[in-house]
A and B are shown apart, each in its own frame.
Chain A
């Protein structure tokens, strides 16, 4: 398709208002050397441009989207309706508090519910997304150790099956990251953890269920080891889909947690936001939280109240599915993942062939060895069938990984169709491997040169001057 800049013609546009009869006054020094180059198009062409862009994208509303670790579930329209109510949209954060009591009530109610779900005592809605929530939580841990004069605790332990953002957030917060290996079952190697935990340990960051979709059965022992070493325990709750309403990080021994409201709690995501990553903590850390009138607060991490309308969607979601609906959603997320896993286990190798939580990981290493068809080839072929591929090549501890997270909002028919497609592609790979490297063939763009794009990125429109 043509770029909007290529459709532009000088002087084109659509005007509904008469020319302004007030003289335009420009500052003597506008600060720009050249005029702003904006495309000039009539409204009809702008509309077509965006519609054409929309046709080239793929979202949950187009089809099945089992992108592991991302929880691409369907977000009910009623939550969008709630977030669009003028009482929530036509407000300003600097309004007098007595005029926005409803908004404040939304925040407080949501904080309370999220505390109940996570087993925490206090929560801040300020962080704008998941990694921001991690960063905030780590600053709480840092502030805690500092308040006790314990400045030797400079290291954060991160299992190698953790979310990729964990080591990055720890590094941003000024900690040194120590990687803890997984054992043969895909869970934390307890012996390695015991060796690593000590007087320099500030804390542990754990994703549980981890990125291979397993709930760590030694979780109580893990948090005990860290606490006995004097560290705190951080729970990455980015994806709470498997355990919400069933198990609580607070009961597992965690002191700090963050959630991605845009994954588990009904906000469409994947297009760059806005998201919301609330951070919660146990009572003994609450005085450090942002947005609190406490001399010990780490200070604000975001202007005003964070991404408020995402909080509205989350509250609407929780109220609409109710106390019984929360664990039911989690059970169905786990059921759907296991249904697909069982349906595929004789067509693909499972990285860990055991009951999984909300997602499972396949390894295509032996398929690649036998046929030359890689996880990337299979993923690309799915695009031809109107299905979004699973997450590829993650987690790093599994070679040729495909990570599938069907979520609870998909019907049995959708899962059956997906299973049939995955099986068909495995068969095609064995019988006609040579055809698999060319896929996709029926999408707006074919196989992209990912290496070329990374080595020589073209990231802006080059004007003809």
Chain B
């Protein structure tokens, strides 16, 4: 299981890369993509949309299931990774490069885990 040290994680299996105090990239973890299986569709928000910590901002679909993607922070969508819509397999092959959105103006952070804490948390998910 790939869990990069420099990222933070949520209990709902999103990763977040803080660029600075108020800007971050968000995606889903290696564990999430493994659990979902081959991803075939992603529904992304639009630039300018507001995201709220702990609330769904996107959804992903595999041949097995549809799942909400929760935002780890409250802020405004500055950029959207449009290529994911055409190449959803990127979420499977390189989950930590397949960012969903870049969020800026972050005012609130939900409960985030370090890589070590997330690894320990995954033990409890098995």
Q: Which residues of A contact B (CB under 8 A)?
A: 392-394, 396, 399, 450-451, 454-455
Contact = CB atoms under 8 A, between A and B. Distances in A.
Nearest to A392: B64
B114 interface: no
B35 interface: yes
Interface residues of B, number: 11
A393 B65 contact: yes
A437 to B, nearest CB: 14
From B40, B88, B89, residue with most partner A Cβ within 10 Å: B40
Contact of B88 (A394, A396, A450, A455): A455
Contacts of B35: 399
A454 B63 contact: yes
A451 B64 contact: no
B58 to A, nearest CB: 16
A392 B62 CA distance: 13
Interface of B: 35, 38, 40-41, 61, 63-65, 67, 88-89
A454 B41 contact: yes
A288 B61 CA distance: 37
Contacts of B41: 454
A455 B65 contact: no
Main SS class of interface, A:
mixed
Contacts of A451: 38, 40, 63
A455 B38 CA distance: 10
Given A399-B35, A455-B89, A450 B65 contact: no
A391 to B, nearest CB: 11
A455 B40 CA distance: 5
A372 to B, nearest CB: 13
Nearest to A394: B65
Nearest to A451: B38
Nearest to A396: B65
A399 B34 CA distance: 12
Given A393-B65, A454-B61, 17 more contacts: A392-B64, A393-B64, A394-B65, A396-B65, A396-B67, A399-B35, A450-B38, A450-B63, A451-B38, A451-B40, A451-B63, A454-B40, A454-B41, A454-B63, A455-B40, A455-B88, A455-B89
Q: Counting chain B CB atoms within 10 Å of each CB, which of A394, A399, A450, A455 scores highest?
A: A455
Nearest to B41: A454
A396 B35 CA distance: 11
19 contacts: A392-B64, A393-B64, A393-B65, A394-B65, A396-B65, A396-B67, A399-B35, A450-B38, A450-B63, A451-B38, A451-B40, A451-B63, A454-B40, A454-B41, A454-B61, A454-B63, A455-B40, A455-B88, A455-B89
Nearest to A393: B64
A419 to B, nearest CB: 26
A455 B63 CA distance: 10
Contacts of A393: 64-65
Q: Which 7 A-B residue pairings sit nearest by Cβ, starting from the closest?
A: A454-B40, A393-B64, A451-B38, A450-B63, A455-B40, A396-B65, A454-B63
B33 to A, nearest CB: 13
Contacts of B63: 450-451, 454
Nearest to B67: A396
A451 B88 CA distance: 11
